[in-house]
Amino acid sequence: MANETTPNTATAQDDKKKIVLSGIRATGNLHLGNYYGALQKFVRMQDDYDCRFFIADLHALTTHPDPAALHENVKQILAEYLAAGLDPEKNTIYVQSDVPEISEMYLLMNMHVGIGELMRTASFKDKARKALGISTADDSEDIEHQIIGNQTNQRVNAGLLTYPTLMAVDILIHHADLVPVGKDQEQHLELTRRFARRFNSFYKTDYFSEPVNFNFGSEAVKVPGLDGSGKMGKSEGNCIYLIDDEKTLRKKVMRAVTDEGPKEPNQTPPIPIQNLFTLMELVSEPSTLQFYKEAYANCNIRYGDMKKQLAEDILKVTLPIRQRILDIRDNDEYLSRVVRQGAERAREYAAATLADVRGIMGIRKF
């Protein structure tokens, strides 16, 4: 039965271009890390690939966001996608919940996913630890025991547990070839490949191919945060948002972590200072970066001056984007048109896949 299934025209029509899929949770504004780490590259990719970008509002429900805030976050991220240069005529841009086929296939795919393998995912255990106040030093068996024993904390919910299944469906329902993911999502992508293999093996078909990580190679950019630690991220509270106004942005940069300055010539900068140089490498002229690197090497750097220059150079990047965001965000008619058009395209692809999956699994109408 399953071997007779042939690809629908909706999933086969773009064979000439590889399908790239990427989504972002509707949990807040996009930041400089999103822009340089992904959006800028997506803009360059949109002529060469069949790109499908979505706003993951269903994924956001795992943290029980305020309903009014959720819709505003979706609207904000959509405006930021468009302001950054994603073209709705070249890409399929949609809101996850506007494609109900995703939810049904999520249910079906969960029938072939083990609870144990989901509980062992690093992201679930990390979020469960934080929700239950469990120390990271606790062993995995103790964590799983406490999770199972806690029946009142809704922050550790079934949606959080099955997050990898929904992510897999996001990918597989489009037969995506390439999925750009960071290190924190690599395990989820590997689970997607595992689920695809398992489905194919169980139903004796080769229906799903295995997606791979879209590796930007030498173009990969890790944008550091302002707190002197790791990468820029919403959860770390160390972001420069694309929507930040001039005053807010300057204040954030001037508060960036530094030290007392170099003690001897040609000293290797500590991580917080390296982070500032990395940011400057992204936004400043090469001569500006070289000036401050030489000042550091010669032990006469003035961090205040460096931060002021860095803020100026970041503003040259973000202020035009901010203005486009504000203009687009206020145009409800345009935003509605974009998501309706995107949902129509996405549902065409998704409905074709869901029909095939239902048939393969034996779910048929009389």
Which of the residue ranges 182-186, 187-191, 349-353 would you say has the lowest mean pLDDT? 182-186
Q: What are the pLDDT digits (tens) for 262-298?
A: 999 999 999 999 999 999 999 999 999 999 999 999 9
Banded pLDDT at 116 (limits 50, 70, 90):
confident
Cα 54 to chain center, whole Å?
A: 10
Tell me which fold the domain 246-326 belongs to: Tyrosyl-Transfer RNA Synthetase (1.10.240)
pLDDT at 140 over 90: no
Is residue 31 over pLDDT 90?
yes
CATH for 2-221+331-361, among 3.30.70.2520, 3.20.20.140, 3.40.50.1240, 3.40.50.620? 3.40.50.620
Contact 292, 277 (CB under 8 A): yes
Task: Give the total residue count for the chain.
Answer: 366
Task: Tell me the C-alpha distance between 232 and 234, whole Å.
Answer: 7
Range of lowest pLDDT (31-40, 48-57, 240-249, 277-286): 31-40
Q: Supply the pLDDT for residue 312.
A: 98
The band of 3, judged by pLDDT with boundaries at 50, 70 and 90, is very low
How far is it, in rounded angstroms, from Cα 27 to Cα 69? 9
Is 152 a residue whose pLDDT tops 70?
no
Contact criterion met (CB below 8 Å) for 155 and 61: no
Q: What is the pLDDT of residue 7?
A: 43
Does residue 14 have a pLDDT over 70? no
Catalytic residues, which ones?
A: 127, 231, 234
Domain-wise residue ranges, the chain: 2-221+331-361, 246-326
Q: What are phi and psi of 16, to 5 degrees?
A: -70, -25
Cα 70 to its chain centre, rounded Å, is 16
Please state whether 85 falls in left (phi above 0), alpha (psi between -120 and 50) or beta.
left
pLDDT of 1 above 60: no
Instruction: Rounding to the nearest 10 degrees, give the CA dihedral for residues 242, 95, 104, 1.
Output: -100
More confident position, 338 or 139? 338
Tell me the whole-structure pTM to 2 decimals. 0.86
**What average pLDDT score do residues 39-66 get?**
92
Long-range Cβ contact pairs of 208-215 (< 8 A, separation 24 or more): 208/172, 208/175, 209/175, 209/177, 211/21, 211/171, 211/172, 211/176, 211/177, 211/178, 211/179, 212/177, 212/178, 212/179, 213/178, 213/179, 213/180, 213/181, 213/186, 213/189, 214/20, 214/178, 214/179, 214/180
